[in-house]
Amino acid sequence: MTTKTKTKKEVYWRCKKCGDEIYWNTHKSMTYCKCGALGVDGCEFYLRLIGDEKYREEVKRTKK
Ligand SMILES: [Zn+2]
């Protein structure tokens, strides 16, 4: 197996209501935060965000 190291930004979506963070890549499964105000469905090819824009924020983080 070949390991391709892609420098991809680590993006999380944070719910401002409950503070839950969801990683951008949910491998095509719809993932909701604890309170259900934010839903993320993403993979390498698409990203779908459910919920009100004002309750979510983008969090960028560098993975160590
Ligand atoms: Zn929430």
Cα 6 to ligand 1 centroid, rounded to whole Å: 30
Cα 57 to ligand 1 centroid, rounded to whole Å: 11
Residue with tokens 């924020």: 57
Cα 39 to ligand 1 centroid, rounded to whole Å: 9
Give per-residue pLDDT as tens, 22-63.
Answer: 999 999 999 999 999 999 999 999 999 999 999 999 999 886
3 vs 30: CA distance, rounded Å: 27
For residues 17 and 37, the answer to whether their CB atoms sit within 8 Å is: yes
Cα 58 to ligand 1 centroid, rounded to whole Å: 14
Return the closest-CA partner of residue 46 out of 58, 31, 28.
28
Label residues 33-62 b or e (16+ Cβ within 10 Å = b): beeebbbbbbeeeeeebebeeeebeeeeee
Cα 59 to ligand 1 centroid, rounded to whole Å: 14
Query: What is the pLDDT, as a whole number, of residue 9?
Result: 72
Kindly report the pTM of this predicted structure. 0.80
Q: Where in the chain are the domains?
A: 10-61
Query: What is the pLDDT, as a whole number, of residue 62?
Result: 80
